[in-house]
């Protein structure tokens, strides 16, 4: 199956709620590569690389997030696969 990457930006109560680490755990379950990082404006950016099925599963999870998160919005765009991508990092 073809691998693709999407860049997601999440808004709401997404910082300070264990979101990045929870995304890393979920990505490991789904065998997804990428990263999660906090943005200066309070949002979280998540890069998700995998098959269409894996990406859809992760995208559905991103709308829920960890228990204390309150996700208001998730935007995404398809991006090129980074050359140095290995595993799923917290940045």
Contact partners, residue 71, CB within 8 Å, separation at least 6: 10, 11, 12, 13, 14, 62, 63, 64, 65
CA dihedral for 45, 49, 52, 54, sign (positive or negative)? negative
Catalytic positions are 20, 38
Q: Name residue 47's beta-bridge partners.
A: 7, 35
Retrieve residue 22's tokens: 């929870």
How far is residue 19's CA from residue 41's CA, in Å, rounded to a whole number? 15
């Amino acid at each position: 199956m073809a691998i693709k990457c999407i860049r997601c930006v999440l808004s709401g109560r997404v910082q300070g709620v264990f979101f990045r680490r929870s995304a890393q755990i979920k990505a490991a379950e789904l065998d997804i590569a990428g990263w999660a990082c906090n943005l200066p404006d309070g949002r979280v950016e998540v890069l998700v690389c995998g098959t269409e099925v894996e990406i859809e599963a992760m995208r559905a999870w991103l709308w829920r997030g960890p228990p204390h998160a309150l996700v208001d919005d998730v935007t995404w765009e398809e991006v090129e696969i980074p050359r140095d991508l290995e595993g799923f990092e917290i940045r």
